[in-house]
Chains A and B, each alone.
Chain A
Amino acid sequence: MAFLVLENIRKEFANSTAVEEFDLAVEAGEFVSFLGPSGCGKTTTLRMIAGFEKPSSGRIVLGGRDITNARPNDRNVGMVFQQYALFPNMTVGQNVGFGLKLKKASREDIDARVQELLELIHLPDKGDAYPHELSGGQQQRVALARALAIRPQVLLLDEPLSALDAKIRDELRNEIRRIQRQLDITTIYVTHDQEEAMALSDRVVVMSRGVMEQVGPPFQIYNYPATKFVASFVGKLNQIPGTVVDRETVQSNGNRLRTSTPIEEAVGASVNVMVRPEELDLGAGEENHFSGTVESVNFLGAIVRVRVEKGDEAVTADLFNERLLELPAVGDAVTVSFPAHACWVMKA
């Protein structure tokens, strides 16, 4: 049996269903992200693991123990909140040691553990500081140390980076991953930021409207999205409408587009051909073509984003920047192309 098991979890509020049919088995030491837009039930699910919400039905088992109805203070989970939630009346050291003090650990043990954790989060000298004297990023590190101090069986993080500046966010993201690997602690991470989820996780759970859309490693989620929602929520995506001709061809506005993923839809059905912008290239070098006029060219540094229009349809091509790249101008007639193995077909 996996280390943390959520079995057919369902959560209903007064007049809505927040989560349904949630089934997940997390292995010990695994880093799993819940990814989805706000209101998709990811935070509610996390709060059920923490014990702040009770599932309407289903079971939660942690390390072989059924904790479905256990009180939050009787679960041995560490929680990090979006708003840091450090106790303002306590020093950093007291914050980190709070959980151990409640467990009646000896003073020496607490002090040693607190120092160990402050070193882990690279704030060894801040033990006597008060939370209001620290920056947001530092406060969130302390919150992480506080959650880890009690040696929880599972670490829960609820959008821990969304209150921080972009730069601090990247830095702390790497810190979280480093610490998680170092301690080998089972971690559930809730976020609406796909980049965060991709960069951190062993597996990502994509959620929408209380339902799990897809569970898998980031590579699989991104390259082989199982549902239309996942395809459009994770990463950017071109959708070219057309009708099915045969198992590997779609007729689209004068062009024949071929895919090497067998088409499941019936011949004549309306479908969309899906392809990621980075698979598109300028010129007619690849099998599938799309010709039109350049509507915009955005220079983003590492990539250049070119939007090509033809009538009502438009596609975006992300080109890798290089010094020899010849940028098209707005209004130019261009052809972009992509290989058959890069695209797949979904029902319109």
Chain B
Amino acid sequence: MTVTAPPIETVPIRVETAKASRGSKVFAWLIFFGAIFYFFTPLVATGERAFNAIGGAFSLEAFRRVLTDPQFITTFTASVINAVATIVVSLLIIVPTAYWVTLRLPRLRSVVEFITLLPFVIPAVVLVFGLIRMYSGPPLLLLRTVGSSRIVLICAYAALSFPYMYRAVDNGLRAINVRTLTEAAQSLGAGWATILWRVIFPNLRVALLSGALLTFAIVVGELTIALYLAQMTFPVYMANLVRNFVAEPAALTVMAFAMTWIAMGVIAYLSRLQPGTWSRRRRRGS
């Protein structure tokens, strides 16, 4: 009898845990479907409009009209260029900063983190009026022309990207042993530029990419600052469109969603890769 005793004792416990997990499973599914409903209803409604340009029937007419509008091409290109410029500026500021903080000033980490979070605290409207006040008078008259205003715009976007970029880079730096890698490179004869370029940057590849893609998404979607700095960017174009059309803005929205999702998918895929997977594929392919 002693042999059978242990299983009998454990049975009720098992039943209980099974019950508990079944209950929480149902709850989890409920939340999941609730969230799906919440997020997808507006999207489905937008899609409904986008694919319904000619009353009643499914059509891609709205997409055709948008894609053939020359203004769409110019504003979208302008936004993409802004985004790329912003990413470069942001990376050049954030990576050396985060690297140096990790390596030499770990006590300042929380301070730097707070500074990078400021764009969350300061509304875009406040930021843009600050910029206008600052740069419309001497000594720096940067708002005289559309071209120079664009520099201000890109710098403002770089600041907006700091919370995302800093977080991404900081996470990336935590995942590698910055200090030892730096010292190893130093003892092999590397200077600071070489260390950053050959050792730190490549090991942050995934982090930098996710930061860059988030920055891209922000810049391509930002309206307020562009509007007040009189820049003709993609969101400004979209805002104008909303006033006059129904199906076209909906089509744009669907496209924007698709792009964001592709970007997120790319981030998720890249973050799963082991170091070296890329170059290995390349080598095997050639």
Contacts and interface: CB of A to CB of B under 8 A. Distances in A.
B190 A102 contact: yes
A79 B187 contact: yes
Interface string A78-110: 110101011111010000001100110000000
Contacts of B180: 81, 83, 85
Nearest to B194: A102
B177 A147 contact: no
A137 interface: no
B186 A89 contact: no
Contact of B187 (A78, A87, A103, A130): A78
Nearest to A131: B275
B177 A87 contact: no
B187 A75 contact: yes
Contacts of B189: 73-74, 99, 102-103, 150
B104 to A, nearest CB: 12
Assign chain B's interface to a size class: 20 to 34
A199 B185 CA distance: 30
Interface string B180-212: 110111111111001000110011010000000
Given A85-B180, A87-B181, A132 B275 contact: yes
Interface string B257-271: 000000000000000
A75 B185 CA distance: 13
Nearest to B183: A52
Interface residues of A, number: 31
Contacts of B203: 87-89
Contacts of A72: 183, 186-187
A205 interface: no
B276 to A, nearest CB: 4
Interface in A133-175: 143, 146-147, 150, 156
A257 interface: no
Given A83-B177, A130-B276, A146 B183 contact: no
Given A73-B191, A102-B194, A130-B274, A85 B186 contact: no
Interface of B: 176-177, 180-181, 183-191, 194, 198-199, 202-203, 205, 274-276, 280, 283
Interface of A: 50-52, 71-75, 77-79, 81, 83, 85-89, 91, 98-99, 102-103, 128, 130, 132, 143, 146-147, 150, 156
21 contacts: A51-B187, A73-B191, A77-B187, A79-B184, A83-B177, A85-B184, A86-B184, A87-B181, A87-B199, A87-B203, A88-B176, A89-B275, A98-B185, A128-B283, A130-B276, A130-B280, A132-B275, A143-B184, A147-B187, A150-B188, A150-B189
Given A79-B187, A81-B184, A98-B185, 7 more contacts: A51-B186, A73-B186, A87-B181, A87-B184, A87-B185, A88-B203, A147-B188
